[in-house]
Amino acid sequence: MTILRIESLTYGVEEPEVGIRYFEDWGLETVERGSSGAVFRTQENQVVQVRAADDPALPPAPDQGSTLREAVWGVDDAAGLARIGAELAKDRDVRTGGDGALHARDETGFAIGFRIAERKPYAGPTPELNLVDAMPRLNRRVAADQRAAPIRIGHVVYSVPKEGWIEASDFYVRRLGFRLTDRSMDLGDFLRCEGGRDHHNLGLFHAPNAARIGHVAFEVKDFDEIMFGGTFMRNQGWKPVTHPGRRIVGSNLYWNFRNPCGGATEYFADMDRMDDNWQTRVWEKHPGGDLWALEGA
């Protein structure tokens, strides 16, 4: 039972056309597009679906309005999928969809699903930095007017009620094999799935009486791509909800925008990577947001 990554995300949106335009501008590949819904994918073949909020086929969410309606996790193989189904069936409803995916709910009530991952490994360009005698970009200039092309979905962050947030996190650790990377008693938990190496694939941040989507993060190649992509988004009229910067916890470069489909989306690059040699850190007080940030950007 190894969960490898986020496989797909489904949003229910009150104004689907606005949500569709947002993800087009965000730089995802459009697979299908209609007036009431669309399907997008990352370069590593993770799916983002935008559907109408009143679509009866969508599972309800704990929060109202445009929001994330389901997060589906990608699993290594059929045996792993069956083990997850058997584990969750011990204490909750598990439904098998027509596509073989399993559907259930976590401790907070967020709809979660599981299916066999269909990863398309990234084979695109890597960052090119000229440094002293290293000159991977010899006789080539940095291209102007680049857009972001998200490689993969790295993490999803939810707000969960403060009361019971440890139990909400324990569910992912004890039942689904997630690892706890960092715990901030005054903020919440950063978890990574068993088959992942990112500092976090899942964030559970506590707030009084909150159960809602926080943000979804998309990895891009480098800081240039964050800035090109974010500048394009801003020029299209989408609103940043953070400055660009580099985080303390996770070390990632980032820039977040308000998503009309619910919560925010983040461009990120160069996040810390962990394996099972990493010792969980527990902070009484969160060490803060940024190593640095571009104020006024």
Neighbouring CB atoms inside 10 A of 292's CB total 12
Q: CB of 118 within 8 A of CB of 75?
A: no
Smaller CB distance to Fe ion: residue 165 or 257? 257
Q: At what angle do helices 16-26 and 223-235 cross, to 10 degrees?
A: 140
Nearest approach, Cβ of residue 243 and Fe ion (Å): 14
| Residue 1 or 268 with smaller CB distance to Fe ion | 268
> Residue 280 has what DSSP assignment?
P
Name residue, tokens 């439904």.
95
- Is-contact 160 106, C-beta < 8 A? no
User: From the CB of 157, what's the least distance to Fe ion, in Å?
Assistant: 6
- Letters for 220-259 (x = contact with Fe ion by CB under 5 A, - = none) are ----------------------------------------
Q: Among residues 7 and 266, whose Cβ is nearest to Fe ion? A: 266
The verdict on 44 binding Fe ion (CB under 5 A) reads no
Q: At its nearest, how many Å lie between Fe ion and the CB of residue 246? A: 12
What stretch of H or E contains 266?
Answer: strand 264-269
Stretch that binds Fe ion, among 73-81, 204-212, 216-224, 235-243 (CB under 5 A): 216-224
Site track 166-205 with Fe ion (rule: CB under 5 A), x = hit? ----------------------------------------
Least distance (Å) between residue 38 CB and Fe ion: 24
Q: Which is nearer to Fe ion, 107 or 266 (CB)?
A: 266
Tell me whether residue 81 or residue 274 sits nearer to Fe ion (CB atom).
Answer: 274
Smallest Cα–Cα separation from 202: which of 6, 45, 31? 6
Strands 152-161 and 202-207: parallel
Concatenated DSSP letters for 13-58?
ESSHHHHHHHHHHHTPEEEEE-SSEEEEE-TT--EEEEEETT-TTS
CB atoms closer than 10 angstroms to residue 40: 22
Closest approach, Cβ 268 to Fe ion, in A, equals 6
The CB-nearest residue to Fe ion is 217
Question: Taking Cα atoms as reference points, which of 68, 37, 74 lies closest to residue 265?
Answer: 68
- Which residue lies nearer to Fe ion by CB, 115 or 200? 200
Both tokens assigned to 292: 């640095």
How many angstroms from the chain centroid is the CA of residue 159? 13
Residue number with CB closer to Fe ion (101 or 217): 217
> In the set 204, 217, 220, 226, which binds Fe ion (CB under 5 A)?
217
Which of residues 250 and 260 has its CB atom nearest to Fe ion in the complex? Answer: 250
Least distance CB 156 / Fe ion (angstroms): 9
DSSP strand pairing (202-207 vs 95-96): unpaired
Q: Residue 248 to residues 4, 132, 252, 293, 297: CA-CA distances in angstroms? A: 25, 28, 8, 11, 19
Region near Fe ion per CB under 5 A, out of 107-115, 224-232, 264-272, 282-290: 264-272
Identified binder of Fe ion from the candidate list 266, 267, 269, 271, rule CB under 5 A: 266
Give 225's DSSP letter: H
**Interface ranges with Fe ion (CB under 5 A):** 217, 266
